[in-house]
Structure 1
Amino acid sequence: MIQHGHRVLQKLTGRMSLALRVAVLTTAAVAVTLSVVSGVVFVTVRAEFESSMDDSMIRRANAAASKGLGESLLSSQSATALAYIGIQPFVVESGQLFASADNASTEYAKLKGYRELEVSTGQRDHSARTVTIQGIPHRVVAVPAGAGRALVIVQSMESNRDALERLKIILLLASTAGVALAGLAGWAVATNGLRPVRRLTEATERVARTSELTPIDVTGRDELARLTTSFNAMLLALDASQERQRQLVADAGHELRTPLTSLRTNIELIGQAADNAERHLSEEQRHEIMDDVRAQLEELTTLVGDLVELARDEPMHRDPEPLDFADVVRQAVDRVRLRAQDVRIDVDLSPWMVMGEPQLLERAVTNLLDNAAKWSPPQGEIRVRLRDGVLTVSDDGAGITPEDLPYIFDRFYRSSEARTLPGSGLGLSIVKRAAERHGGTVEVESPPGAGTTFRLVLPEAPVQSV
């Protein structure tokens, strides 16, 4: 039954706006509360009226019974005087109802009941009940009046009925006014309280319609203000992400333009030589062009790989494997030695267990070593050390200028000296990303004219209990 009522209420309010729903539910709650309160007040007042009338009638009946039940009480003159104030006396004796008053009607003669008989026989100390006579409610009270006798007093409740009717109208009017005021107040509170929600809705619709990520104003310090602040933070993060994507695309387009232009030029030369016999290329020229094409293809391949790596925003693998960082460094050193044979690499490594991705870590270390080999002088030395999770890669190059030092980990950033050398400007960005994805850091130190030292710090893998 409760579930059915809940479904009906949900169906009725499902198509309403949130403000109207709050107002309707508030009004319904107030209406139910006022109905219960009004019912309790009405029943309590009615019971109080009956209790007060019973106490008064019982007190007067006991006073009359204590003075004796003679002909004077039931005489025509006494009965008329009592009837004038709404009281009609009777006596029940030996199970029979009698009254000497001439105006005792047949209706009153029918009032004898088992309760009054029980009072006359001493089974009850008093009785009280309500009967209807000629359409008017009357209260019937009986008290003992000697052996085998009971005095019965009947009093009209017309005044109580009229008072209760007036009370019913007052409660109905007050409840109606209260429900109306509750509906207006609920609508006003819902409208004003949900204003920040409407602003958020409008901002969301604006973002979906125009793609403008403009934050909205925050007012107050309540939960809605916190929701607005969180929404603004989401907008700022989304805007920053879009800006990074735009910058990545712009920088990638700029970097891809150079190798693609060189490739197109070389291919056009080969095509023209093939189509025109007068433009025949010598063996030396052909080898030179092919070497240039291979170099541009290698640079393009490296650039595309770096872009793919940096474009990945997913977190580190959910189940990283434990590995010795020293083994990763050795593999990277062996790879760099094959292509940087004019420099010497001095290696001193200590075991250091980490949890991570070996391919990403090896690429980061390789980038550090390639950077050191590129800037080292011929027959120079690269020093690689691993102690307590700190990998240092030092070279004897000219170092990094103070102007370039804060930006070397930015994507596509290349110093003025590096723009004439092969590279995409993404290698150190990949190193920084690998460090952050493994919970580590990377730092650089480059005194003027004293070479450059990179420090890659990785946390140790937690010890697994057997």
Structure 2
Amino acid sequence: MSTGPTGPADDRWHYRRSLASRVTLLTTMAVGLTVAFVALGAYVTVRMQLQATLDDSLRDRARQAAQAPALTALPSGEEVPAWAVVATDLRVAMIAADGTTYVPQRMEPTPRLGGPEVAVARGEESSSVRTVRTDGEAYRVVAVPYGEGNALVLAESLESQQQVLGRLGVVMLLFGLAGVVGAGMAGWVVAANGLRPVRRLTRRVEEIARTEDLDPLPVEGADEIARLATAFNQMLTTVAASRERQRRLVADAGHELRTPLTSLRTNLDLLAQADSSGAALPPGARAELLADVRAQMEELTTLIGDLVELARDEPLTHVVETIDLSEVLDDAITRVRRRAPQVRFEVRAEPWYVVGEQAGLSRAVTNLLDNAAKWSPEGGTVRVVLERGLLTVDDEGPGIPEADLPRVFDRFFRSEESRSMPGSGLGLSIVHQVALRHSGSVRADTSPAGGARLQLRLPGNATPPPRQPPPQPAQPAPPPAARTPRAGQDPA
């Protein structure tokens, strides 16, 4: 038998009851225990009540018999007739203080008498009641004082009482079994009906797992099962949206990669044909082809970098530090000015310190500036303002159509006017993702000059956080003070 990390027990097959059977079993056990406790309580109560009634009856009859003239007129020690105590259903006896027992009418068998009855005859107790077994039969024995130094004893068989309790026990047992069986059937019916929505939901989920059909589940009522179905529908909606985004990402990425790859392959084929045929291309045409190949490779590199950036959904766990956003903005403007010398930039920035990732913030700010430079006309002006964590970039281009404003930050989204312009439609998506990773936001609007206005807001502070002082080296402990030797003491 193979063993796993937790031992051979992992290979065993464990049987687990169904939920309906467990509900039925628990219901039956609960009702069975309840019936058992109720039956036991009723039995004990009836037994105690019968015992108390019998004891009270025996005491009254014994006291009345001890005071009857038929007994008080008889000399001590003589036989007492049974009719004198109305004792045709009792065992009657008298016991003296020395333990001598007198049995009137010679009624046999006589219950064994002892210490409690002798104590009553001696006057130490006013009465005694107890159960005595003689020849396999149980008697309830009562003793009361009778004259001087004697006690009258009455004993009644408990057979009739035990018969009543026995019949009561049988009746309770039958009714208890009937209740348990009824409870089991009721539990099964409740479990079957109550778990029907669960089984229906399970079948639907299994069908979704088998067919990958993400249609929502039907929701009925407002109970826990309905809440579970609603939660499943929310999960299905999320999975469907994720699948749609993945499908769109793959389709758009394939479309964006196909154009530069086709152009690159065409240019390389032209160069290869010219080299193989021996016909030299004009120097200007060859240089133009090589420049075109280089530009297409740069476009591919940018596109692949954008895709890698968008694939990063993990939280900031790399180089996280306090960054001055105004310095990031200065570096980004320097780079964009080299790429777009025909555009003029007006910048007004205040210091703003953000805790985040240097590379991501730099990429987001650069993408905002590149987008404004791309849409600005030659000689146009891009106005950049950084104030209290809000970076506003305004251009003088044609602006963003009202219908495209909600979609400008979607992956691979490109308006109809931008289809013929370079780019992949991923720049603003990266800005949006970087803003979310830094607990910020980004929005698109129309600038006062009629162009586009893009705003990036990042949480931070206008003043840099205080720097932590470097740890001080541990100071060595001062040497112990030299002791001055006393007179007559060796300094060593």
Using structure 1 for the length normalisation, give the TM-score: 0.89
Task: Please tell me the residue identity of whatever aligns with 2:234.
Answer: A
Question: Retained in 2: the 8 A contact 1:398–1:449?
Answer: no
Q: Which range is displaced more, 438-447 or 363-372?
A: 438-447
Partner of 2:103: 99
Task: State how far apart, in whole Å, the 1-side matches of 2:327 and 2:164 are.
Answer: 99
Partner of 1:287: 287
* Post-superposition CA distance 1:312-343 (Å, at most 9, x none): 33344498433222122122112212211222
Residue type matched to 1:91 in 2? Answer: M
Kindly state the Cα deviation for residue 129 of structure 1 after the two structures are TM-superposed: 1.7
Query: Within 2, Cα distance between the matches of 1:35 and 1:402?
Result: 77
- Deviation of 1:309 (Å): 1.9
Report the Cα distance in structure 1 between the residues aligned to 2:52 and 2:122, rounded to whole angstroms. Answer: 24
Over residues 91-139 of structure 1, what are the superposed CA-to-partner deviations in whole Å (9 max), with x where a residue is unaligned? 11131110231x422x20x521111111111222221222334543221
Take 2:421 and 2:206, find their aligned partners in 1: how far apart are those partners? 48
CA distance in 2 between counterparts of 1:344 and 1:448 reads 17
Contact map agreement 2:395 2:449 (CA 8 A) in 1? no
**Do the aligned partners of 2:92 and 2:104 also contact (CA within 8 Å) in 1?**
no
- 1:410-459 CA distance string (max 9 Å, x none): 22121222111110011112112222232222222226972222111122
Paired residues of 2:326 and 2:350 also in contact (CA < 8 A): yes
**8 Å Cα contact 1:355/1:461 also seen in 2:** no
Do the aligned partners of 2:376 and 2:396 also contact (CA within 8 Å) in 1? Answer: yes
Amino acid at match of 1:63: Q
**What whole-Å deviation, never above 9, does each CA across 1:135-174 have from its counterpart, x for those lacking one?**
4322111112232111110112222111101110111112
Alignment of 1:12-411 (within 5 A): 15-67=16-68, 69-70=71-72, 71=74, 74-76=79-81, 78=83, 82-83=87-88, 86-94=89-97, 95-101=99-105, 103-105=106-108, 107-108=109-110, 110-277=111-278, 279-317=279-317, 320-411=320-411
- Conserved in 2, the CA contact under 8 Å of 1:398 and 1:450? yes
Counterpart Cα distance in 1 of 2:398 and 2:252: 27
> How many residues are matched?
450
1:370 Cα shift?
A: 0.5
Q: Mind listing any 5+ residue stretches in structure 1 that lack a counterpart?
A: 1-10
Q: Distance in 2 between matches of 1:81 and 1:462?
A: 112
SS in 1 for 2:419: helix
Q: Deviations over 1:59-94 (max 9, x none)?
A: 1101111225355995456279622xx212111113
1:248-296 C-alpha deviation (Å, 9 max, x unpaired): 111111111101111111222222223222x432322221111111111
- Kept in 2, the 8 Å contact 1:317–1:357? The answer is no
CA distance in 2, matches of 1:354, 1:164: 87
The structure-2 alpha-carbon separation of the partners of 1:100 and 1:175, relative to structure 1 and needing over 3 Å to count, comes to: closer
Question: What SS does the aligned partner of 1:391 have?
Answer: strand
Contact 1:346-1:382 within 8 A present in 2 as well: yes
Going by fraction, where is helix more abundant, 1 or 2?
1
SS at match of 1:420: coil
Residue 461 and residue 22 in structure 1: after superposition, are their counterparts in 2 closer, same or farther (change >3 A)? farther
Checking the alignment, whether the CA contact within 8 Å between 1:344 and 1:381 is kept in structure 2 is: yes
| Mapped contact 1:385–1:391 kept (Cα < 8 A) | yes
Amino acid at match of 1:257: R
The answer to whether the 8 Å contact 1:141/1:153 transfers is yes
Give, as a single letter, the amino acid of the residue that structure 2 aligns with 1:266: N
Q: Identify if the C-alpha distance between structure 1 residues 417 and 77 changes in structure 2 by more than 3 Å, giving closer, same or farther.
A: closer
Other-structure match for 2:483 = none
What is the rounded CA distance, in whole Å, between the counterparts of 2:239 and 2:316 in structure 1?
Answer: 21
Q: Which amino acid aligns with 1:131?
A: V
Specify the code of the residue in structure 2 equivalent to 1:78: W
Stretches of structure 2 that go unaligned for 5 or more consecutive residues are: 1-11, 469-492
Q: Which amino acid aligns with 1:393?
A: V
Q: Structure 2 vs 1, CA of residues 462 and 285 (structure 1 numbering), >3 Å: closer, same or farther?
A: closer
**Residue identity in the other structure for 1:459:** P
User: 2-side partners of 1:59 and 1:193: how far apart?
Assistant: 61
CA contact (8 A) 1:42 1:164 kept: yes
Q: Identify the range of structure 1 (192-201 vs 44-53) with the bigger mean alpha-carbon deviation.
A: 192-201
Matched-pair contact (CA < 8 Å) for 2:116–2:128: yes
Structure-2 separation of matches of 1:222 and 1:77: 76
Q: Is the 8 A contact 1:322 1:461 kept in 2?
A: no
1:23-45: CA deviations, max 9, x gaps? 21221122222212211221221
Seen in structure 2, the aligned counterparts of structure 1 residues 64 and 183 have a Cα distance that, compared at 3 Å, is same
Letter in 1 for 2:92: P
| 3-state SS of 2:416 partner | coil
Deviation readout 1:322-380 (Å, 9 max, x if unpaired): 32221221221122122112222222110112222222221111111111111112222
SS at match of 2:113: coil
Deviation at 1:222, TM superposition (A): 2.7
Deviation at 1:242, TM superposition (A): 0.9
Q: Distance in 2 between matches of 1:145 and 1:193?
A: 72
- Please, what is the CA RMSD of the aligned residues? 2.6
